[in-house]
Amino acid sequence: MDKEDNTELNVIKNLSRIKHKIVILSGKGGVGKSTISANLAIGLSKKGYNVGLLDSDIHGPSIPKILGIEENKPDVTKTGMNPVIVNPKLKVMSMAFLLPETDTPIIWRGPMKMGVIKQFLGEVNWGDLDYLLIDLPPGTGDEPLSIAQLIPDIAGAIIVTTPQDVALVSVRKSVNFVKKMNIPVVGIVENMSGFTCPHCNKSVDIFKTGGGLKVSKDFLIPFLGKIPLDPQIVESGDSGETFIIENETTDSAKAFKDIIKNIEKHVKKKEVKYTK
Amino acid sequence: MDKEDNTELNVIKNLSRIKHKIVILSGKGGVGKSTISANLAIGLSKKGYNVGLLDSDIHGPSIPKILGIEENKPDVTKTGMNPVIVNPKLKVMSMAFLLPETDTPIIWRGPMKMGVIKQFLGEVNWGDLDYLLIDLPPGTGDEPLSIAQLIPDIAGAIIVTTPQDVALVSVRKSVNFVKKMNIPVVGIVENMSGFTCPHCNKSVDIFKTGGGLKVSKDFLIPFLGKIPLDPQIVESGDSGETFIIENETTDSAKAFKDIIKNIEKHVKKKEVKYTK
């Protein structure tokens, strides 16, 4: 019991040096949550903020692959683990760094997983950060719940969805999940929204478009932007080059920048509210 | 303890009337596992088999939406719950039927979830079936693990993936997961594999193509087929019309039929082995 209390205290103490803690979640997997988290983290760091990115997906940690830092290992020091440095402004921690080989499945029960997550929050030397982005596991189950409960004063939640109806059923669950947890919502991002054929330049709505906007209106929460389906994003993710840096002039990159502006606005509003 | 033993016994007894129990899994969410499960179930039932489909995703149950039976409710009888009838040869059970409203997130801890899954397996009147397809929750975590452990003599596992590298990291985990559980592998299905622009008929590899085949070669397991990215599949899933029936002549429908033939072959081989 005492040990447990110390762990929670460590988390609070360690995270108290971080100004804005933002969770990124989705009602279902495969909507591009990790790709979006990685690009937002890079984007915020390029704006001069000190950023941390925590990949809290225990079973499918893909952030290191997306950022091209899979071969890196965090240093273990006497005061805790040092996250992997992506650039002078961006630090990353992920379960993927701790696995012996990438093919190994993590068949762990709930309590074991929570132990690792607590370490990621309480014993990683994040230092002083402007932003910590936490890429939550998909869904509304044990893991996102437990992680959200562990983090004190989350500044906001970004909910990622794809536009088709089947996905929107899940995103509505996510919105209610976040509300139940009393986490303020930054807004909804609609990913894989529309597609322009690179051969004929005509548009095809493979996964439809506009569903995320509809949900944001239904729930009266902000809509942060649409990111089109783009083979370049897939290629960037696979090759470890983040999309936003490599393709600054594309529609997708512009969409990411707008989302970043919305995050800045959101935390600013929150700061004003707290100092009033 | 006695109660627990009875529950497990119920599961064994109830499932003993089912010839072939097939689990469908994926290393990550959003790869189309539920869409594929629904179409395979429809396809097998159209071939004259008695089929059951269990949507064991507690957090994002999407099978009823895909099959257009969201408004249905299973009857509760003295002998257990009756699954929802899709056609005379196909019965479905899903968490979605039991939720008060579709927006409600299920914020349950592990043991509560397992209680529901045990009911789905032990107390649903599946009757005599040729096939029970079990759509597992994505990943290699508590839920797929616990469910797989509950089901006696699983005939085989179908692993669904999308072709891009980031997804393939997860599918490799799934293959190892299945091996660790000693479940025979039916094979790998590559979903969202390639895309043909409906305007200019040229192909675009949005999520690339061929990754699933590569993994199947690496692990020496069968490759069941590629299903192209197709806006019609998305639309069918959203409107509750299953793709395979509605579009019998398309490449995607043909791919589904080949996969079904492979499943039949797999269980036949198994039957031969057992009778030897």
pLDDT digits (tens, 9 = 90+) for B164-182: 888 888 888 899 999 988 9
Give burial (CB, 10 Å; 0-12/13-18/19+) of A68. Answer: middle
Nearest chain B alpha carbon to A198: B204
Percent above pLDDT 70 for chain B = 91
Determine contact: B27 vs chain A, CB below 8 A: yes
- Interface touch A166/B110, C-beta < 8 Å: no
- Interface touch A141/B173, C-beta < 8 Å: no
- Interface touch A208/B234, C-beta < 8 Å: yes
Q: How far is residue B190 from each of residues A267, B132, B149, B171, B197, measured CA to CA in Å? A: 41, 22, 26, 10, 19
pLDDT of residue A2: 47
pLDDT of residue A238: 84
pLDDT of residue A67: 93
Residue closest to B189 by CA, chosen among B163, B160, B167: B160
* Bigger pLDDT: B6 vs A20: A20
Write phi, then psi, for B140 (nearest 5 degrees). -125, 40
Residue closest to A228 by CA, chosen among A253, A246, A199: A253
Q: Is the pLDDT of residue A91 over 70?
A: yes
Residue closest to A176 by CA, chosen among A211, A209, A215, A143: A215
Q: Which stretches within chain A are classed as H helix?
A: 2-15, 33-46, 63-67, 110-122, 142-150, 165-180, 211-218, 231-239, 243-246, 251-275
State pLDDT tens for residues A143-187: 788 888 999 899 999 999 999 887 888 888 899 999 988 999 999
* CB-based burial, A3-21: b 16+ in 10 Å, e otherwise: eeeebeebbeebbeebebb
- Interface touch B208/A165, C-beta < 8 Å: no
pLDDT of residue B6: 77
User: Among A12-26, B61-75, B193-207, B234-248, where is mean pLDDT lowest?
Assistant: B234-248
Residues in chain B: 276
pLDDT averaged over chain B? 87
For residue B67, list chain A residues with Cβ-Cβ distance below 8 A: none
What predicted TM-score, i.e. pTM, was given to this entire model? 0.84
Greatest C-alpha distance within chain B: 65
Residue closest to B123 by CA, chosen among B73, B88, B163, B83: B83
For residue B65, list chain A residues with Cβ-Cβ distance below 8 A: 165-166, 169
Q: Is the pLDDT of residue B265 over 80?
A: yes
With cut-offs at 50, 70 and 90, classify the pLDDT of residue B116.
confident
| Chain A contacts in chain B segment 89-118 (CB below 8 A) | 102-110, 113
State pLDDT tens for residues B81-115: 999 999 999 999 998 888 766 676 766 666 777 78
The CA R_g of chain B, rounded to the nearest whole Å, is 18
| Chain A contacts in chain B segment 168-187 (CB below 8 A) | 169-170, 172-177, 180
| Chain centre to alpha carbon of residue B56 | 9
